[in-house]
Amino acid sequence: MSFAYPAFLWALTALAIPILVHLFSFRRTTRILFSNTRLLQQVRQETTQKRKLKQYLVLASRLFFVFFLVMAFAQPFLPASEQITPGREVTIYLDNSYSMTSNIAEKTRALDAGIGFSREVASLFPADTRYKLLTNDFAPFSNSFKTRTELLDLLTQVRLSPVSRTFHEVNERASSLNGELFWISDFQKSTLDLSAVRTDSAQSLHLVAIPLDQASNVLIDSVYLEDPFVVGGQRNTLHVRVRNAGVKVREGLVVKLTINDIQAGTASVDLEPSAMADVKFDLAQGLTGLSRLVISFTDFPVSFDNTFYLTLNFADKIRVTEVRQTPGPVEKVFGNTALFDYRAFSPGNVDLAIISQSDLVILNGIDRPDPALVNTLREFQQGSGSILLVPPASGDGTGVRALTNFSLTKADAKEQQELDKPDFQNPFFENVFEDRTSSMAMPRAKAVWQWGSDRSALLNFKNGSPFLSRTGNTLVLASPLDNAFTDFQNHALFVPVMYRMAASGHRTSQKPYYLLSESTAILQADSLTGEAPVTLSGKQEIVPSQRRSGDRVVMEIPRFSVDPGFYVASIQGDTLGMIAFNMDKRESLLEQWSGEEVKSMLGGGDNISIFRPAAEGSFSNEIKERYLGRQLWKYALMAALLFLLAEIVLIRFLR
C-alpha cells in the first residue's frame, strides 16, 4: 500500500491526545456524606468495573477515529498492476454487429455499453495517447490514429453493421499495432471462430466480454419451395423452418407471409428451447412476374432477425428440346405440359431457332450431329442454358468431343456397376433428398465412354470414374439411356436429376435470396450491351464489383455497405431483376464464450488480460484499479465516521 500524501502521517502523533485525556481526568470529585456506609463497598466495585470498560471502549473509538481520519488525508492506495506511459498507442475494437442489440444488465443495449466502455478507456490514458478505432465495417477512419477528442467524436457515429467478423480477421487487421488492444465484444461462439488462432506475445490484448441477457430469440433457419420450378399460374408451397435459439419456450408465435406488400397468409407455431418447427404457406395461382416475399414475426427483445426477404420470378414454362433417334424416357420426364414446353426433333430435321430459345437441350444418342447443329449448340453454350450429352451405344463420339473439352476414350466395362452415393453437400442436389442416408439404393450402369478422374463429377461409379460430369453449363453421361447399359432412367433418382438440369438452365431462374456472408450474386439478363455497370438500388444505391460471362453478371456482394432487404438491379435505367439479401443466421445464435474460455483458446499468455464488466460503472472502477490503482481514502473516511458514531453511541447509551 502507498500514500498519495505521506506527509500527513505526521498527524498520527495526535493519537496521544485521547490517551492523555484518558489518563488524566480533569473532572473534580464531589464528596457526599452518608449516615451508614456498610453496604457501599460492593456497589462501588461493580460500578468502577463498568466505568472502566466504558472508558476503554470510548478511548478505542477515539483512537481509531483519529487514525482513520489521518489515513483519509494521506490518501492510501493500492499500486496499479499496469503502468501508463506517455505517448502510448491504443487500439479499440468495438463489435457493432447486430447481436449487440441484445440487452445486458439494467436493460442497456450491448452496443451502447460497449461505446461507454470505449469512452472510459479514452478518458484513462494521458492526453498525448493516440487511438485507433476498429469496427466490423473496417471503415476508412480505422486506418489512422486519432486524438482523444477525435475518438470520442467517432464513437458518437458508430452504428450497427450487418457484417460479422471472425477473430482472425480483426486480429490480422490489428496485428501491425504494437500498443494496447482492447477487444470489446459479446464473443459469440457462432461467429468468433477461434480455431488455430494465436496472438502475438508482444501485443497486450485486453478482453472485455459483454455478457448478454439470456433471452428467447427466434429466427428463420431456411426457406425453400416444395416444387423448385417457379412457374406462373401454378400452385406451389413455401416451406419456412423457424428456429428457437433461446432458452425460453415460445408459444403461439405468429408468422406472416406478405407478397408484394399484401398479406398472403399467417401461421402459429410453438417452439421449445433449441428446437425447430416447419411452417407452410400455399402460394396461390395467378402470381406472375417478379414478386417480393417477406416473412415476418414479432419477437422481443432480439428483433434484428424478425424479417426474412426473398424474391420469386414466376416465369413461363421451361423450354426443353431433345434431339433423338427414337422416343425414350426423356419425353416421359418432361411430359408435364403445365411446367414444361417439350419438343423433340430427329437429327435431320432440327429447328435451330427453337434450339437457341431453349432452356435445356438434350443431344440423345447422336454420334455425328449436323455441323450447323454443332455451331448452334456452341453458341448456345455461351448463354445460360444447359446441354445434356447422352452418348450413343456405338460410334466414335464425334458429337460429344465437339461440344466438350473432355479427353474421351472407349470404356472396357463388361457388365453394369453400381453408382456411388451422391455428394449431398453439392448445390446441384439441394432440396432433392429428404433423408440423406448412406443406405439408399443406387442405379447401375455400364460406361461406353470414360474421361479420367473428375473430382467435380455429380455422380460417380464406386471405382471413382465419373458417370455424370459437368463442365460449364454442359453435362455429359457415360452411358446411353438404354436398359442394356443402365437402369438409371428407371431409378427414382432420374427424375429429380433431370428436373435439376432443366432448372439450372432456366433463363429466368435466380436464387430466391442471398446471405450477406456469401461472396457473389449472379444475375441473368438476355442481352447486355455497352460497358455500363449494373447498379443495385434499395436502402442504398451501390455499384458492386462485377464481371460478365455471356448473359450472366457475377457481382461481388458488398456486405460492408448492404443492409438486409430488396435491391433492384438496373443498367442505365433499365431494370434487370431484383435481389434479396438477408443476415447470416449465425449472427442470431447468441451463445457466448466467456473471457476465460477465449483466453485459454488463445494460448493463455500473460499478454492477455480479462475485464469482467457487469455494467458501465463497474468497468470504470475495474479499469481505473488496473491502471491507476485502488484508492482507499474513501474507505478510511467512512471508517473514521463509523468510529465517531460509535463514540457517541457509547457515551449516550452505555451507562
Tens digits of residue pLDDT in 238-286: 999 999 988 888 899 999 999 999 999 999 999 999 899 999 999 876 6
Cell 478511548: give the residue: 59
Give buried/exposed letters for 450-489 (b at 16+ CB in 10 A, else e): bbeebeebbbbbeeebbbbbbeebbbbbbbbbbeebbebb
Contact between 533 and 555 under an 8 Å Cβ cutoff? The reply is no
Bridge partners of 637? none
Give buried/exposed letters for 356-395 (b at 16+ CB in 10 A, else e): eebbbbbbbbbbebeeebbebbeebbebbbbbbbbbbeee
SS3 11: helix
Angle between helices 616-628 and 110-124 (to 10 degrees): 30
Of 166-175, 207-216, 609-618, minimum mean pLDDT range: 609-618
- Grid cell locating 457: 463429377
State the average pLDDT over residues 513-528.
82
Pairing outcome for strands 340-345 and 318-323: parallel
- Domain 514-582, what fold? Immunoglobulin-like (2.60.40)
pLDDT at 525 over 90: no
pTM assigned to the model: 0.68
Bridge partners of 574? 571
Contact between 428 and 502 under an 8 Å Cβ cutoff? The reply is no
CATH of the domain spanning 89-213+590-628, picked from 3.40.50.970, 3.40.50.2300, 3.40.50.410, 3.60.20.10 = 3.40.50.410
Query: How many Å apart are CA 142 and CA 163, to the nearest integer?
Result: 16
- Could you state, in order of their start, the residue ranges of all structural domains in the chain? 2-79+636-653, 89-213+590-628, 218-307, 318-504, 514-582
What is the tens place of the pLDDT at every residue in 154-163? 999 999 988 8
Amino acid at 313: N
Model confidence at 80, in pLDDT bands (50, 70, 90)? low
- Domain 218-307, what fold? Immunoglobulin-like (2.60.40)
Question: Cβ contacts of residue 375 below 8 Å, gap of 6+?
Answer: none
Model confidence at 642, in pLDDT bands (50, 70, 90)? very high
The two domains 218-307 and 318-504 share their CATH topology (first three levels equal)? no
**Cα Rg for the chain, rounded, in angstroms?**
39
SS3 291: strand
Model confidence at 223, in pLDDT bands (50, 70, 90)? very high
- Domain 318-504, what fold? Rossmann fold (3.40.50)
